[in-house]
Amino acid sequence: MGRLENKSAIVIGATSGMGESIARMYAAEGAEVILTGRREEKGRAIEESICSTGGKAVFVQADSTKKEDLERIFQVAMDRFGKIDILINNAGVGTTGAIDEMTMDAYDRTMDINVRSYYEAIMMAVPIMKKQGGGSIINTASIGGLKGLAMTSAYCASKGAVRLLGKSLAVELAPFGIRVNTICPGTIETDMLDGTSDEYRKMLADGVPQKRLGSGDDIAYGAVYLGSDEAGYVTGADLVIDGGISV
């Protein structure tokens, strides 16, 4: 039996990188998965790949910053599975630039994707989880929410907000059996590094004590733990997965 057998999960932001790895590993561990993202062709391919190996997955094309799209995600989940045991907020955008060159449009877009969409998804999940008697909410932040990183003020502000959102809700929702935890990845090999040079990647890896970039599976292993019954007494935690870079 898989570690997530008989559980249903929504993975928002699952058409690439860490989210794709989480969706695939969740299905492999027995969960029924709703995976979402804006890229329909990629999402359908992931769904087909998971189902072809015996997993249970449904792709919903959606933009997590749109309320109507989030509502549709939750409706599909309830129609297909009748419950939502785990919500994973993983949609995100990296925003770089000096503070005196940043535009408010860029700042607002960062906050809309990295914070507001999480908040709104949680607002929809909580009444369902309360009625069920519990659930697990996992938010993706970053080591940028733990320490200051130059040229990423909007990004760091958004990830810091995600961390404290998780801690506040962990206290608020604990009496209802709802756990809220945060994963803080370090430098991970994702689509955000596509097009960068080998030299740049080596420079990033050299800055990590383990001397390597993280993989999507490194993050997915943490998400499986936090979603499983093994983490039944874990809430309000920051699970840092960064090869030691933030120590």
Catalytic residue set: 155
Tokens 């502000």 sit on residue? 157
Report the C-alpha gap between 6 and 12 in whole angstroms: 20
The 8-class DSSP code of residue 176 comes to G
Q: How many CB atoms lie within 10 A of CB 129?
A: 23
Instruction: Tokens for 150, please give them.
Output: 């130059």
- Residue 135's SS3 state is strand
Treating both helix axes as pointing N-terminal to C-terminal, what angle do 153-173 and 117-132 enclose, rounded to 10 degrees? 20
Instruction: Tokens for 10, please give them.
Output: 């929504």
Give me the sign of the Cα torsion angle 75, 229, 44, 189: positive
Of 192, 99, 198, 100, which Cα lies nearest the Cα of 148?
A: 99
* Residue 206 burial (C-beta neighbours within 10 Å; 0-12, 13-18, 19+): exposed
